[in-house]
Structure 1
Amino acid sequence: MGVPHLPPLPAPTSWFPGHMMKFTRQLPALLKRTNVVLEIRDARLPLTSINRTLEGALKKWRLERGWDPNNPARRFFAVEACEHIVVLNKRDLVPEWGLEPFRKAMEKKFPYQRLHFASAQKQKDIRTLSDMLVKLAKDYPHAMELNVLVLGMPNVGKSTLLNALRNMGIKGRTPKAFQTSANPGMTQTLSTRLKLSLDPLVYAYDSPGIMLPFLGRGEEGAERGVKLALIAGIKEGLYDMRALAGYLLYRLNILNPTAPAYLALLPPGSAPTHDLDEFLALLAQRMAMVKRGGEVDVARAEVYFVRWWRGEVGSLATDHALPAAPGTQAWGFDFQWEAPAPAPGAERNFALEVQARMEEGIERYVAETDREEADENNVSETQIKKRAVKEEKEKRRLKNMSKRQ
């Protein structure tokens, strides 16, 4: 079948409606009454679903609560809880073999974050997270309550996870706490407090999903946008379905070259393919998507393929088997590396190899985002113009004040 090549990607679009800007401005004040930040990310995009625009406010919040700026794992004083818990949601959609190596790799780079893998459909995951919050509340018995603020990008599963925590923590029948939707942007304002535990008292706030104001320039920004659109993190219609289907086919072929997950959608006996037109024709044939005159409807097949990956139609099954041979390996859509053949007679520790590759990937991600910030590649032309106008207005204001004096 050959080696898959990255297909042409559309330029990154921008989707940052007013309610996102409003919440971003409110965040520093909200953190003053927050004890735990529960940041939800998508396990398929463990790096891409990090919202860098929130990091400044979170860093300031930690410093105000006594954490050492030179050693983020040490705290000078602890009057009340101040914890940043990162939840990698939808863990069932990534291979199990990468979970522990990723946890260890993230702990080395971000020792001040607690990492938890979860699926809202797995009771054990929700119980562990609920117990974690209850223990934090009990660690500070003089505090009247523990307040949890849930943050994350659109459509990573914040409201669904909170509903599961509510049902786990409050005995008896409880109504669904928050509305959920397969489309991003359902939650547009900070929610009222939701009680997660009675003894000790634990409350949570759901917040609007916050997208990056600008996805970046060049191939990196384009790929970032397509990844987020694939998990429905960006408003429907801003990305062409064919572009999403092409990238999804490319990624699934990298994840498992011999038996990619999409084979379950094709006619029995079909082989893996890099050809998007061939793939869509086979998918349309299998799903009986036919236009008048007997022509296969590839446009419907594009939509079905993407919706299947999002878990909106059909049954999405991922292959959790260990990579069997050297070559290109991947975990989720954010990690890809070349695994050489082991030296003759050498004992292979696969978990340590994967962890080392993930550490390299995390370091690259941090370096790239730092470089983008330094070069202002994460700021759109519109944002630059607005900032220039604001700075000019401030200069005029100061000039007028000096004249009056």
Structure 2
Amino acid sequence: MDNTDMKQIQWFPGHMAKTRRLIASNLSLVDAVVEIVDARSPLSSRNPEMDHLTKNKPRLVILNKSDLADDKTTQRWINYFRSEGSEAIAVDCKSGKGLKSILPVIKKSVLKELMDKRARNGMTGAAVRLMIVGIPNVGKSSIINKLAGSKRAKVEDRPGVTRTKQWVKLDDNTELLDMPGVLWPKFEDQDVAIRLAFTGAISDDILDIETLAMKLLSYLAENYPESIIERYNIDISDNETGLDLLENVGKKRGMVISGGEINTERAAITVIDEFRGGKLGRISLENPPEKEL
């Protein structure tokens, strides 16, 4: 992505620094770590410090919002995480798809060694304690509530809602330690920041919505052109810029103000909202890294 016209994005509220300390100080209380990522951008939606923060704890990576992502790309990501030593599954917190497999996978795969040891020692009733982590707005609280069968965790469609740790009892044998969402001190790679902005992990208040929409449209034109053609009924040519595409969306939706000028801000809000709502189709924003031979 071309970042020349996008201001540098920084995002590290004070409560996120506290989260790093909370993770480190509470890690000894749990048997495994459950990490939630966005299936559309699994690597960008992982805190790069998480490997270090969670040390050598067994881990399950949950690719949430998989119903919004490209199926084939999601499977490649699952294979990637498994090759890196973490079990991985795809779920969708809104529809509930895949959620029932989370606890069985943890107990039969992620914690198989621990569960076998407990069985040999007659400790089958001992509770499994899990720490659940993820960046803001990745659907962590929604997954917890589905697993717990009640509104245990606060849910809002904006980043940074969960501010303190809380224990949630899932069943008689499983307890979950919910940690606040954590990003990182600074974005070394602005492409990562932009992908997070596309999905809403970064507050829209610190971004130029029109620039963001133009970048998204340019990405879609190159990688998923049918999503633009089918949704907005506009042609895509090799010469069109993100601004051209945004203005065409505004024209097609009748977003014209005095003097025939296109209301590009309104068009931008529409494009971003429709992408986040899945109305542009199943789209992945990044591919797994290529393994070195």
**TM-score normalized with structure 2 length:** 0.86
- Give the C-alpha shift of residue 124 in structure 1: 4.2
Amino acid at match of 2:45: S
Query: 1:152-192: per-residue Cα shift (whole Å, max 9, x none)?
Result: 1111111111112222xxxxxxx32222122101111112x
> Distance in 1 between the 2:69 and 2:76 partners?
13
Distance change >3 Å, CA 21–CA 363, structure 1 → 2:
farther
- Report what 1:130 is aligned to: 103
Find out whether 1:280 has 2:223 as its counterpart. no
Q: How does 1:93-104 map to 2 (within 5 A)?
A: 93-104=68-79
Find out whether 1:164 has 2:160 as its counterpart. no
Find out whether 1:30 has 2:26 as its counterpart. yes
Distance change >3 Å, CA 292–CA 206, structure 1 → 2:
farther
- Report what 2:255 is aligned to: 289
In the alignment of these two chains, the number of paired residues is 282
Find out whether 1:315 has 2:273 as its counterpart. no
**Do the aligned partners of 1:91 and 1:119 also contact (CA within 8 Å) in 2?**
yes
1:235 to 195, 203, 213: 203
Distance change >3 Å, CA 263–CA 205, structure 1 → 2:
farther
Identical counterparts, % of pairs: 26
> Distance in 2 between the 1:208 and 1:9 partners?
32
> Distance in 2 between the 1:301 and 1:286 partners?
10
Distance change >3 Å, CA 363–CA 235, structure 1 → 2:
farther
- Give the C-alpha shift of residue 12 in structure 1: 2.6
> Distance in 1 between the 2:292 and 2:213 partners?
29
Find out whether 1:86 has 2:52 as its counterpart. no
**TM-score normalized with structure 1 length:** 0.64
Distance change >3 Å, CA 251–CA 28, structure 1 → 2:
same
Where 1:237 maps in the other structure, the secondary structure is helix
- Give the C-alpha shift of residue 119 in structure 1: 1.0
Amino acid at match of 2:145: N
Distance change >3 Å, CA 15–CA 7, structure 1 → 2:
closer
Amino acid at match of 2:286: D
2:9 to 9, 13, 22: 13
**Do the aligned partners of 2:40 and 2:69 also contact (CA within 8 Å) in 1?**
yes
> Distance in 2 between the 1:282 and 1:203 partners?
51
- Report what 2:169 is aligned to: 195
- Give the C-alpha shift of residue 146 in structure 1: 1.1
Distance change >3 Å, CA 249–CA 99, structure 1 → 2:
same
> Distance in 1 between the 2:73 and 2:165 partners?
34
> Distance in 2 between the 1:42 and 1:209 partners?
13
Where 1:32 maps in the other structure, the secondary structure is helix
1:271 to 221, 226, 235: 235
> Distance in 1 between the 2:8 and 2:134 partners?
20
Distance change >3 Å, CA 315–CA 30, structure 1 → 2:
same
**Do the aligned partners of 1:34 and 1:149 also contact (CA within 8 Å) in 2?**
yes
**Do the aligned partners of 1:280 and 1:301 also contact (CA within 8 Å) in 2?**
yes
> Distance in 2 between the 1:334 and 1:242 partners?
22
Distance change >3 Å, CA 233–CA 86, structure 1 → 2:
same
> Distance in 2 between the 1:249 and 1:255 partners?
10
Amino acid at match of 1:161: I
Q: Which blocks of at least 5 consecutive residues in structure 2 are unaligned? A: none
Amino acid at match of 1:298: T
> Distance in 2 between the 1:85 and 1:100 partners?
15
Where 2:61 maps in the other structure, the secondary structure is strand
Where 1:87 maps in the other structure, the secondary structure is strand
Amino acid at match of 2:247: A
> Distance in 2 between the 1:151 and 1:103 partners?
18
Q: Which blocks of at least 5 consecutive residues in structure 1 are unaligned? A: 63-81, 168-174, 320-331, 336-357, 365-405
Where 1:150 maps in the other structure, the secondary structure is strand
- Give the C-alpha shift of residue 9 in structure 1: 4.3
**Do the aligned partners of 1:133 and 1:202 also contact (CA within 8 Å) in 2?**
no
- Report what 2:129 is aligned to: 147
Query: 1:316-338: per-residue Cα shift (whole Å, max 9, x none)?
Result: 4227xxxxxxxxxxxx2222xxx
- Report what 1:181 is aligned to: 156
- Report what 1:74 is aligned to: none
- Report what 2:178 is aligned to: 206
**Do the aligned partners of 1:134 and 1:197 also contact (CA within 8 Å) in 2?**
no
**Do the aligned partners of 1:7 and 1:247 also contact (CA within 8 Å) in 2?**
no
Distance change >3 Å, CA 10–CA 278, structure 1 → 2:
closer
> Distance in 2 between the 1:20 and 1:272 partners?
41
**Do the aligned partners of 2:39 and 2:74 also contact (CA within 8 Å) in 1?**
no
**RMSD of aligned Cα (Å):** 2.5
